[in-house]
Amino acid sequence: MSLRVERDKDSGVALVTLDRPARLNAIDLETAAELAAAWRQFRRDDEVRAVVLTGAGTRAFCTGVDRSAEVPQPSSPYSLDDPLLAVGPKANDLWKPVIAAVEGMACGGAFYLLGESEFVIASREATFFDPHTTYGMVSAYESVFMAQRMPAGEVARTALMGTAERLTARRAYEVGLVSELTEPGGAAAAALRAAEMIASCPTDAVQGTVRAVWAATEASRSRALALAPHLVTLGNLPPERQAGLFEERRGKDGFRLR
């Protein structure tokens, strides 16, 4: 199993941990399926009233899709199979509050998870970036999810700068992506404290509030996501050219912290 799920019946909080530290908690097809299954289980588990999502280790929260994962695609240019589309709680119709706790890197497909969390708590050493354009890929879904958290100009800069620039936790806090900063190693503990407080409130009121907050942006988000597969199909380089760019960049760590 590449996902750890721990439930505390006394507090009503579940801790979900992406447990692939050797792969920087990148999501392969197995992990994607486990995440979707976990969110669906929480829908029917009345003892779980709030969830904390984090990554194992301190190097990364999540680095998006595992590049070694093979995702067969339909031949039609009008169809696109994205293994990350169902990894988030809202994609699985879970309206219990989810808090993301970030240590280390969060990049690329990690925004599918951050974008469907209620709020994000991060270590001061956390960094955020979107590598898509560097490797000849359109940042479509990621940019839509980031736009739920950040001003449009910050989303555009983060997406367009690719691997050349990383958002520090401090800057992420300043622009609204992160709601609280902790000392290194303290993000999960802070998220659990917040989740326990939320879980102690009447359940119906909490879930109704979650739905109300999401209703404020759901229409625009849905319309933007509907365009995403077409933009990806039109703008992505062929997989072999993407792989070539990735190999060229391997081992090159030159980036600016902002």
How many C-beta atoms lie closer than 10 Å to residue 9's C-beta? 9
Contact (CB, 8 A) for 47 and 95: no
| pTM score, whole prediction | 0.93
- CATH number, domain 1-66+82-183+202-250: 3.90.226.10
Q: List the helix and strand counts (H, then E) for the chain.
A: 8, 11
| Residue in the block written with tokens 């997989």 | 239
How far from the centroid of its chain's Cα atoms is residue 108's Cα?
8
Give phi and psi for 160, each to the nearest 5.
Answer: -75, -25
Distance in angstroms (rounded) separating the CA atoms of residues 141 and 202: 33
- Residue 216 contacts by C-beta under 8 Å, 6 or more apart in sequence? none
The pLDDT value given to residue 77: 65
- The angle formed by the CA atoms of residues 107, 255 and 116, to the nearest 5 degrees, is 15
Encode pLDDT of 230-249 as tens digits.
898 889 898 889 889 888 87
Q: What is the pLDDT of residue 78?
A: 67
pLDDT tens-digit profile, the chain (258 residues): 799 999 999 999 999 999 999 999 999 999 999 999 999 999 999 999 999 999 999 999 999 998 777 777 677 766 677 889 999 999 999 999 999 999 999 999 999 999 999 999 999 999 999 999 999 999 999 999 999 899 999 999 999 999 999 999 999 999 999 999 999 999 999 999 999 999 999 999 999 999 999 999 888 889 998 899 889 888 989 888 988 988 887 767 789 899
